[in-house]
Amino acid sequence: MATELKIGQEAIEKKGWWQAYKWLVLRRTSQIGILLLFMLIPICKWISPEADCQLGWIMKGNLSSSKFFDTIPMTDPLLFLQMIAAGFTSIAVEAVIGALIILVFYLLVGGRVFCSWVCPVNIVTDAAFWLRTRLKLVGGTRFSRNIRYWLLGMVLIVSAVTGSLAYELINPVSMLHRGLFFGMGFGWLVIAAVFVFDLIITKRGWCTHICPVGAFYSLLGKVSPLRVRADARELCDDCGECYIVCPEAQIIKPVLKGKEKGIAPVILAGECTNCGRCIDVCAEDVFHFGNRYSVSPKPAPIAAKILNSKLSKNSLEQKS
């Protein structure tokens, strides 16, 4: 197994820095870019209080409910479900359309794309994982990753019983996003608790064991066509780096080692966040983005190069 402090080193040597960090860089750009879009108005007003800040209307609202160019509504489908469970009788048509738009989007690209490409808490939990790795912290409390699904059920039950959107008061995702605009208050304590929980108590604790939002998006992600594929899995040299960087490492092995059992080389688990880190760190280029339906896809270019060099080496050895 690779030592944790050298993750991606072999990929950099074989594929170059950009190919070894591409998806991570694009993801961070997306997360920060989306935050900035929401912040354009406050930034514009801060720079010039008298300006009309028209540009700022690109994205208005927050991650729970927003409008694109003051026209296209977007509503968090989980928030919408909580409204239904709570028995809200007058849900605006805009909210229904917004929930449908977001629902269709994540059904297509993968539910947990929200986690790795949009959610600001992911930056916090990734930072905790990075520090945990640097400090070589191991162990911690082990508990089932299915708890998140029970908590998701609880969120809806509590909404139904209280007739309110109770979870939204303590949801770290909404809290962090709102807090960045209006001030965090005691929200910092909640975010700090998530960070410490991930750092000390359980590796990747919040996102992969607890968060009901992530659980909801995992359910959506089960049917999406966009998938990470491992078509070149025969090139895997068991370095183990993909297992280390993957927030849901349990979903990789069945696909990577499932050839004899007839398991297709595609990650179909809804828990996959489509973060692309497995693609980045794999020096053998085993993984790539594709779709769930491909029957005979070509190996990715770098993998093909490695495969060809291995084949020609074998044929030379046979001749000699």
Binding site for ligand SF4 (CB under 6 A): 115, 119, 121-122, 125, 173, 206-207, 211, 213-214, 228, 245-248, 251-252, 267, 272-278
Give the distance, in angstroms, between the CA of residue 50 and the centroid of all CA atoms in the same chain: 39
Smallest gap from Cβ 275 to ligand SF4, in A, equals: 4
Beta bridge partners of 75: 65
11 and 26 Cβ atoms separated by less than 8 Å = no
What is the rounded distance in angstroms from the CA atom of residue 5 to the CA atom of residue 9? 9
Nearer to ligand SF4, 65 or 122 (CB): 122
Distance of closest approach, residue 116 Cβ to ligand SF4, in angstroms: 7
Beta bridge partners of 72: 68
Within 10 Å of residue 44's Cβ, how many Cβ atoms?
A: 16
DSSP 72-103: EEEE-HHHHHHHHHTT-S---HHHHHHHHHHH
Smallest gap from residue 262 Cβ to ligand SF4 (A): 20
User: Is the alpha carbon torsion for 137, 138, 140, 142 positive or negative?
Assistant: positive
Compute the least distance from the CB of residue 157 to ligand SF4, in Å. Answer: 19
Instruction: Name the residue among 55, 28, 27 with its Cα closest to residue 40.
Output: 55
Cα angle at 303 between 297 and 306, to 5 degrees?
A: 135
Nearer to ligand SF4, 132 or 277 (CB): 277
Q: Pick between residue 56 and residue 198 the one whose CB is nearest to ligand SF4.
A: 198
Report helix, strand or coil for 73. strand
Tokens of 38: 């929401």
Query: In angstroms, how far is the first alpha carbon of the chain from the final one?
Result: 33
The CB-of-206 to ligand SF4 minimum distance in angstroms stands at 6
The CB-of-269 to ligand SF4 minimum distance in angstroms stands at 8
> Which lies closer to ligand SF4 via its Cβ, residue 220 or residue 245?
245
Name the residue type at position 172: P
Q: Which residue lies nearer to ligand SF4 by CB, 272 or 300? A: 272
CB of 97 to ligand SF4, least distance (A): 22
Q: Is 245 exposed, middle or buried (0-12, 13-18, 19+ CB in 10 A)?
A: buried
Question: From CA 72, how far away is CA 58, in angstroms rounded?
Answer: 10
Q: C-beta of 7: minimal distance to ligand SF4 in Å?
A: 12
Nearest residue to 112 (alpha-carbon basis) of 214, 27, 207:
214
If the CB atoms of residues 159 and 273 are measured against ligand SF4, the closer one turns out to be: 273
Q: Which residue is nearest to ligand SF4 (CB)?
A: 214
Q: Considering beta carbons, is residue 74 or 115 the nearer one to ligand SF4?
A: 115
- Closest CB to ligand SF4 among 41 and 208? 208
